Amino acid sequence: MGRGAEARVIRAPVREEVRVELGPRSYAVVIGAGALAETGQRLVAAGFGGRCALVTSERVGALYRKPVLESLRAAGFAPVLVEIPDGEEHKNLASLAVLYERLLEAGVERGSPLVALGGGVLTDLAGFAAATLLRGLPTVLLPTTLLAQVDAAIGGKTGVNHVLGKNLIGAFHQPRLVLADVDALSTLPRRELVAGVAEVIKTAAIGDAPLFAELEERLDRLLALEREVVVPVIAACVRYKARVVAEDEREVSGGRAVLNFGHTLGHAIEALTGYEELLHGEAVAIGMVAAARVSVALGRCRPETAGRLDRLLKRAGLPTDIPSGLTPAALALAVRSDKKSAGRRIRFVCLEEIGRTTFVELSGEEIVNHL
């Protein structure tokens, strides 16, 4: 082989595809570099054509709408672009009304796919609009944050916030296709990337011990966004979540509640700090360490296991201590007010070992007393 050929050696594309098995609502999640540029051809392969809407936020749109629109046009679509302001404060009924109006004015019809490009706030909002416009438009999700790629975009939860609480209004509406382009992670602020790693660590902690060991070994390469590490790690997280969702799509049988590990206290901390001080992933990191501490106090978990979790989160740069100033009484009250509470008892997710959890029925006070 001459020098010229050598220079043109192309690295094999790192790409994985995971199927979320939900009978007639099954769909593929494609994880890889450059996936955004394939949006058009993959929509055609999924049976779509004609009109479609691309919903994105202003910031993400500026970065990535171009390759997506070009790909859609090249595949014969007539995409309509709808951009909405960035930020969790816009994930509400007012933005939803604007989105409905823009989509209807654009002439979307039943069967027109709604393509949502952005982080979890955007995919939740756009997904809910799709769930409820014309009683349901097909959704294609293009998550651009690590958190959205491993969590928000998988499993069909959509919704908006209400002044009385986050995600209080929403619907289950599975997407038809998810394209997670890992290249999009390169423009993510470091703090947001790290917050996404919290959900990756959560997945490993509750259901995938080998992934946890891999993270302990390759955390730096994950944070450096090396494709050879990022793609299989995201795929492992998607695979785990797909399995949980397949068994309990609508949080009926209760199995899906395992995903709430660290979230009972995480949500409480977010609510008490006004959703401004901490990113969701940061609150979940604190919540996981707290949940592990409760598990140890209940005799369900060895202190070494809780320590391993604490160390990995810290190494990623995540906070693990409950913010000073949050009183136990306030925490207990906030835990009780979480929308997932059914009555006064909480189905608390305890860590038993890395990769294994168990549910324990506790009151808000009991949880806080074990911290």
53/354 with CB nearer a second copy: 53
The distance between the two most distant Cα atoms of the chain, rounded to a whole number of Å, is 72
Residues 229-258 binding a second copy (CB under 8 A) are: 250-251
x/- letters, 25..64, toward a second copy (CB under 8 A): -------------------------x--------------
Is residue 136 at the binding interface for a second copy, with CB under 8 A as the rule? yes
Q: Which stretch binds a second copy (CB under 8 A): 28-36, 68-76, 127-135, 232-240?
A: 127-135
Closest CA to 74 of 117, 38, 45, 35: 38
Structure tokens that stand for 63 in this block: 């970065």
Looking up tokens 């909002």 gives 125
Nearer to a second copy, 249 or 270 (CB): 249
Contact 134, 110 (CB under 8 A): yes
- Say how far apart CA 192 and CA 282 lie, in whole Å: 9
Nearer to a second copy, 8 or 344 (CB): 344
Question: Which residue reads 């007012």 in tokens?
Answer: 94
Three-state secondary structure call for residue 177: strand
Verify binding: residue 164, a second copy, rule CB under 8 A: yes
Identify which of residues 136 and 323 has a Cβ nearer to a second copy in the complex: 136
Could you give the CA distance from residue 2 to residue 306 in angstroms, rounded to a whole number?
Answer: 54
Shortest distance in whole angstroms from residue 147 CB to a second copy: 19
Length of the chain (residues): 371
Shortest Å distance, C-beta 152 to a second copy: 14
Nearest to 292 by CA among 354, 217, 335: 354
- Find out whether 81 and 72 touch, Cβ atoms under 8 Å: no
Stretch of 31-39, 145-153, 159-167, 293-301 contacting a second copy, by CB under 8 A? 159-167
Neighbouring residues of 302: CB distance < 8 A, sequence distance ≥ 6: 296, 353
Question: Which one among 6, 109, 276, 361 touches a second copy, defined by CB under 8 A?
Answer: 109
Using CB under 8 A as the binding rule, whether residue 73 contacts a second copy is answered as: no
Active site residues: 135, 157, 199, 241, 251, 256, 260, 263, 267, 280
Residue pointed to by tokens 């494609």: 30
One residue of 13, 47, 76, 165 binding a second copy per CB under 8 A: 165
Please select the residue that binds a second copy; options are 162, 300, 302, 315, rule is CB under 8 A: 162
Does 93 help bind a second copy (rule: CB under 8 A)? yes
Question: Is the separation of the CB atoms in 118 and 147 below 8 Å?
Answer: no
Query: Which one of 169, 223, 330, 360 is in contact with a second copy (CB under 8 A)?
Result: 169
Spatial contact of 123 and 169, defined as CB atoms under 8 Å apart: no
Q: Is residue 159 near a second copy by the rule CB under 8 A?
A: yes
Question: Which 332-371 positions form the footprint of a second copy (CB under 8 A)?
Answer: 339-343
Please give the structure tokens belonging to residue 250.
């609508």
363: which residues sit within 8 A by CB, 6+ positions away?
Answer: 332, 336, 344, 345, 346
Which stretch in 2-10, 92-100, 205-213, 318-326 sits in contact with a second copy by CB under 8 A?
92-100
Give the interface with a second copy as residue ranges (CB under 8 A): 50, 93, 97, 100-101, 104-105, 109-111, 128, 131-136, 157, 159, 162, 164-165, 167-172, 250-251, 339-343
